[in-house]
Amino acid sequence: MVKHSWKNLRNVDPSFIGDVFYTKLFFDHPKLRRMFPQSLDEQYKKLINMLSAIVSRLDHPDKMEDDIKAMGLRHETYGVKPEHYQMAGNALLWTFEKGLGKDWNEDIKDAWLACYIMLAKMMIPAAKEHLSFE
């Protein structure tokens, strides 16, 4: 379901998806805005490229675990805290819901939520582990 729904979203301009996601994230949590560069154009591309890479490897999560953990460490250096993952996840699901429109349903929501939780569980411990060595 994640892969199928992503195919529909992947055809949308990355700037549009990125703008919707970050607008929702910053509207709900304005303090997070300071963690990002003034211009978000590159961030939009990074978001879509990251999602595409993850979705393409969903059938083999063990093969992306090292990359996901490294991403968790990078996010920690940007100031991302464990509580920010829920904020971003909510904004991401909202973005997908709006982007998919009538094609969005509870099954797709559950599939994306399970995917996001799997990723967050890889990223958060990696950041915590890094912190314990400082």
Which of 38-52, 87-101, 115-129 has the lowest average pLDDT?
115-129
Q: pLDDT value at position 132?
A: 38
Percent of the chain with pLDDT over 90: 61
Alpha-carbon distance 65 to 119, whole Å? 8
Task: Using the structure block, give the residue that is written with the tokens 């099954």.
Answer: 107
97 CB neighbour count, 10 Å cutoff: 15
CATH 1.10.490.10 correct for 2-132: yes
Tell me what the mean pLDDT of segment 35-57 comes to: 92
**Which pair of structure tokens corresponds to residue 103?**
């094609």
Alpha-carbon distance 43 to 134, whole Å? 28
Q: pLDDT value at position 72?
A: 86
Q: pLDDT value at position 20?
A: 96
Alpha-carbon distance 48 to 51, whole Å? 5
The reported pTM is: 0.87
Decide if pLDDT at 133 tops 80: no
